[in-house]
Structure 1
Amino acid sequence: MSSAMVTALSALGVAIVTALGGIVVAVVGRRQPRGQSRRDDFTVVTERQDKEIARLEARIESAEVKISGQEAKISGQSAAITYLQAWTRTLVAVVRGSGQQVPQPAPVPEEARPYLYDIGV
């Protein structure tokens, strides 16, 4: 065999090995559907995030309802305190004055009435 023939046969051997390697890589690559699994994972993650966002929105809405109820309660309690403070000042002024009768209390505001149930007003 001549040197040209040996070179040609070695080039043919390298080409065959390269072709077989390419085929093996292609077969292995087709077995792993990476693109579809990534899309499926993205869909699952997106659905979980949507559920979590909906749950958090529901919690926020319920917290806002609670807050509005608490604000109304605080407003009523503030009115009750203001009423009692004014009534106390009036009583102190009458007591400091000499021998007069205690005046009738001012009408209790409606929003303060639930917080004054235990004092008979």
Structure 2
Amino acid sequence: MSNAEMWTAVSGGVVGVASAVATFWGGRAARRTRRDHRRDDFSVVTDAMRKEIDRQGQRIDELEQISDRQDQRLEGAGVAISYLIERVRGLTTWVRAAGLEPPAAKPIPEPAREFIHHDV
């Protein structure tokens, strides 16, 4: 084998080894490590949690609005009941002042007893 052929073979071998090392190193650099996967999994879970928290926050806001409307309705119903009780008392007083006796009231229904504490 001549000197030139030997240099060609050696340089070809060196280029082959360098190419294999570069391929290996490039593949290793492109491969995702276990730490990368864990970080990405954490990011996915964190994003899902953020979305769920936002959804729950919106649901809580909706429920608070519903609760506020119900509170306003209950307050209005309480005022209406108080007005009607006072009106019935006034009419009863007027009837008695006229020397008459108002008709007997029907018994208070069981579900209403919790809310009506006044005898008319």
Q: What is the deviation of 1:32? A: 7.1
The answer to whether residue 49 in structure 2 is matched with residue 49 in structure 1 is yes
1:70 aligned residue: 70
Q: Percent identity?
A: 41
Partner SS, residue 76 of structure 1 = helix
Could you list the per-position Cα deviations for residues 70-113 of structure 1 after superposition, in whole angstroms to 9, with x for gaps in the alignment? 1111111011001000000011111222258xxxxxxxxxxxxx
2:60 aligned residue: 60
TM-score by length of 1: 0.54
2:34 aligned residue: 34
- Aligned AA for 2:58? A
In structure 2, the gaps of 5 or more residues are 1-27, 101-120
- Cα distance in 1 between the residues matched to 2:50 and 2:87: 55
2:109 aligned residue: none
How many matched pairs? 71
Consecutive aligned runs of 4 or more in structure 1 exceeding 6 Å deviation: none
| Root mean square deviation, CA, Å | 1.8
- Cα distance in 2 between the residues matched to 1:45 and 1:63: 27
TM-score by length of 2: 0.54
Could you list the per-position Cα deviations for residues 41-91 of structure 1 after superposition, in whole angstroms to 9, with x for gaps in the alignment? 000000010000000000010011111111111111011001000000011
- Cα distance in 2 between the residues matched to 1:41 and 1:32: 13
1:90 aligned residue: 90
Using CA pairs below 8 Å that are at least 6 residues apart, which structure has the higher relative contact order? 1
- Cα distance in 2 between the residues matched to 1:32 and 1:46: 20
- Cα distance in 2 between the residues matched to 1:65 and 1:98: 50
